[in-house]
Amino acid sequence: MSTDTRATVRVTGVALRAMLVFTLVLGIGYTLAVTAIGQLLLPWQANGSLVTDARGETVGSALIGQGFTDAAARSLPGYFQSRPSAAGDGYDGGASSGSNLGPENADLVAAIEDRQAAVAELEGAPVADIPPDAVTASASGLDPHISPAYAELQVARVAAERGLAEQEVRGLVAQFTEPRDLGFLGEPRVNVLRLNLALDELAR
């Protein structure tokens, strides 16, 4: 075997051993370590922030929005409604996306006007009182939150439909209103799924 051949074999062997070691350490060991740390320190978040109902059944994730409509896509009047979704056919976790339409796009303008009319009819409110998140989708199409203003707009309808006092429903809204992150990042927001589950608990 020539010197060049031996050198090539030696270098190849070193490269293969290095690849094997790094695969074990970084590809397997690191992954297992991060997974274990996540399960130990933040198990709820590491497992998808799953939300369960009173029966212990998983009904969704606190991080992914969903619609509260009937089979004909009509809003269920006894539930707070989420903001619109442009993800797939709506709230599709496998197709997270916004509409990517500009503010002067005719299709977007028409969609917003249609949503304004629908929300105004559902809530019995003038269009001027409808907050932006009630008629526009988020960049992900999966925002699980609505603004406190949109939640307040829905209080009267939900309370009337469920036979509850408006003040009681407002108390639940306040309970599930999340503050700004670190006290200054973002805006206060209301988690719709968790709020609606709490409403169902009141009916039990």
User: What would the pLDDT profile of 158-199 be if each residue is shown by its tens digit?
Assistant: 999 999 999 999 999 999 999 999 999 999 999 999 999 999
Q: List, for residues 132-147, the tens digit of each pLDDT value.
A: 999 999 989 899 999 9
What does pTM read for this prediction?
A: 0.81
Helices and strands: H and E segment counts in the chain? 7, 5
- 100 phi/psi in degrees, rounded to 5: 60, 25
pLDDT at position 77 is: 96
How far apart CA 121 and CA 46 sit, in angstroms, is 40
Domain spans in the chain, listed from the N-terminal domain onward: 3-43, 49-202
